[in-house]
Amino acid sequence: MLSKLIITAAIALSSFITIAKPIAIDENNISPLLNGHEIPNISLQTVEGEDVNLKELVSHKNTVLFFYRGGWCPFCNVQMGQLQAIESKLLAMNIQLVGISPDSPEKLKASITKNKLNYLLLSDEKMQAAQSFGLAFYTSDKVTKMYQAKLGVSNTLFNLPTGEARLVLPVPAIYMSDKTGLIQFMYANPNYKVRPAPELILSAARLLE
């Protein structure tokens, strides 16, 4: 019995460590999950505020996941529109498209309406997905204040080890997984202005067929 309890505790601790992956000091020091890693077992929220287990979600169908900074980001809105334009081709390959951001469910609804989206958007307000994928990073004090003042970003702030409160964002990224939850393709770029072309995403997605 004791050995079973120890094993159970070890598994639980291992899961916690994966979810609580440290937030990078800046966007250039992230440690993203790579090809061959598995989609983490984490919970996100739909626009209705309902919980969705990401690992279970991808087990039903090959999946293209994309992490974006939020509906306030113009580069993210352009990308969402580009992905909407190729969604029908992904669906024809039996691949689902899912977007993940720190936006609240209410803000996700606004993005869906604004960009006329058909695909699923999930809320990662607590940044558990961004952290477990190794994409979360602290913005600088200057950027935090600028985004709050000029772009109206009202995300929850996170404290640095030194105690300073900063905005935490995900580095924009694309992940493709098969139905076993195995990552087959990934793209992450610290330069938020550079996103993979739709043609590249489609080419990579064909490898999942």
Catalytic residue ranges = 76
Number of neighbouring beta carbons within 10 Å of residue 29: 12
d(CA 132, CA 40): 7
Of 17, 27, 18, residue with least CA distance to 136: 27
Tokens of 65: 């996941």
Distance (Å) of CA 173 to CA 13, 48, 53, 106, 180: 27, 24, 19, 22, 20
Q: Is residue 155 exposed (0-12), middle (13-18) or buried (19+ Cβ within 10 Å)?
A: buried
- Burial (0-12, 13-18, 19+ Cβ within 10 Å), 207: exposed
Rg (CA), the chain: 17
Residue with tokens 């061959």: 36
Paired tokens of 40: 């983490």
